[in-house]
């Protein structure tokens, strides 16, 4: 078994972390544009108001909990508590998948209540909801893929790498999609 340690602490931001922050800035601008368009469009006469399914609340709790488990996973990784780290990264991954499943059920609930989400006969308010939340779910799916990579690496027996950069990048992205969901959820809840 090989052990690799990272001792590169020059005070500069890692290039991958910098790239992530640039991407996060771009995503913030994209979602700001979408929510601005939502505000402009909702002032037109054919805007349909409807209640959010309770499942969106459940998914919000799940993603908040996943950020807590992610934080604890990073903390345990840095403390080299591998068993705790493996358990916490596993829980975070499961919670991420559960978030997407709950979002799907929330959309199914809207569909069953007679709100046509896309296509002919749909209302712009429902279509905006699908686009905004759908894009967020797509970014959460990217986070889940990153979590799965970190998850499988944690169970690898070949090389034990104690470089925390990949985990920190994954965690930062995961916190971002969490905060983004809170923003979108509150925005869509209050700006009807």
Q: Tokens 């209302």 identify what position?
A: 123
- With cut-offs at 50, 70 and 90, classify the pLDDT of residue 115: confident
Classify residue 120 as exposed, middle or buried by CB count within 10 Å of its CB (0-12, 13-18, 19+): exposed
Task: List the one residue out of 60, 98, 92 whose CA is nearest residue 73.
Answer: 92
- Which of these ranges, 8-17, 30-39, 70-79, 123-132, has the smallest mean pLDDT? 8-17
Domain range for 156:
62-192
Q: What is the pLDDT of residue 179?
A: 96
- Local structure of residue 191 (DSSP, 8 states): -
Would residue 74 count as lying in a domain? yes
The structural domain count of the chain equals 1
Please give the C-alpha separations between residue 110 and each of 35, 95, 123, 126, in angstroms, as whole numbers. Answer: 20, 23, 12, 9
Would residue 87 count as lying in a domain? yes
Higher pLDDT, 8 or 48: 48
% of the chain beyond a pLDDT of 90: 51
Question: How confident is the model over 2-37, as pLDDT tens digits?
Answer: 444 444 556 787 788 888 889 899 999 999 999 999
Please give the C-alpha separations between residue 130 and each of 38, 103, 164, in angstroms, as whole numbers. Answer: 12, 11, 36
Would residue 36 count as lying in a domain? no
Q: What is the pLDDT of residue 135?
A: 93
Would residue 54 count as lying in a domain? no
**190: CATH:** 1.20.120.80
Q: What is the pLDDT of residue 9?
A: 56
Question: Distance between terminal CA atoms of the chain?
Answer: 57
Give the pair of three-digit tokens for residue 24.
């996060």
Looking at the whole model, is its pTM more than 0.85? no
Would residue 167 count as lying in a domain? yes
Would residue 50 count as lying in a domain? no
Would residue 31 count as lying in a domain? no
Question: How confident is the model over 140-192, as pLDDT tens digits?
Answer: 999 999 999 988 888 776 756 677 788 999 999 999 999 999 999 999 888 76
Q: What is the pLDDT of residue 1?
A: 40
- Residues near 160 by beta carbon (within 8 Å), at least 6 away in sequence: 1, 2, 3, 4
Strands 2-4 and 159-161: parallel
Angle (nearest 5°) at CA 167 between 21 and 24: 15
- Local structure of residue 121 (DSSP, 8 states): T
Q: What is the mean pLDDT of the chain?
A: 86
Q: Which one of 11-15, 76-80, 89-93, 151-155 scores highest in mean pLDDT? A: 89-93
Would residue 112 count as lying in a domain? yes
Q: What is the pLDDT of residue 163?
A: 75
């Amino acid at each position: 078994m090989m052990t690799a340690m990272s001792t590169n602490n020059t005070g500069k931001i890692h290039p991958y972390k910098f790239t992530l922050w640039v991407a996060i800035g771009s995503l913030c601008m994209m979602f700001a544009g979408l929510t601005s368009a939502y505000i402009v469009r909702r002032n037109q006469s054919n805007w349909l108001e409807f209640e959010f399914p309770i499942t969106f609340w459940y998914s919000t709790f799940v993603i908040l909990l996943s950020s807590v488990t992610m934080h604890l996973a990073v903390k345990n990784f840095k403390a080299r508590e591998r068993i705790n780290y493996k358990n916490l990264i596993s829980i975070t991954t499961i919670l991420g998948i559960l978030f997407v499943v709950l979002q799907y059920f929330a959309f199914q609930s809207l569909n069953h209540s007679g709100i046509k989400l896309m296509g002919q006969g749909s209302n712009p308010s429902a279509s905006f909801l699908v686009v905004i939340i759908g894009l967020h779910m797509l970014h959460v799916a990217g986070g889940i893929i990153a979590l799965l990579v970190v998850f499988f690496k944690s169970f690898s027996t070949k090389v034990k790498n104690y470089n925390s950069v990949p985990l920190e990048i994954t965690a930062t992205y995961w916190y971002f999609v969490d905060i983004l969901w809170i923003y979108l959820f509150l925005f869509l809840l209050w700006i009807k």
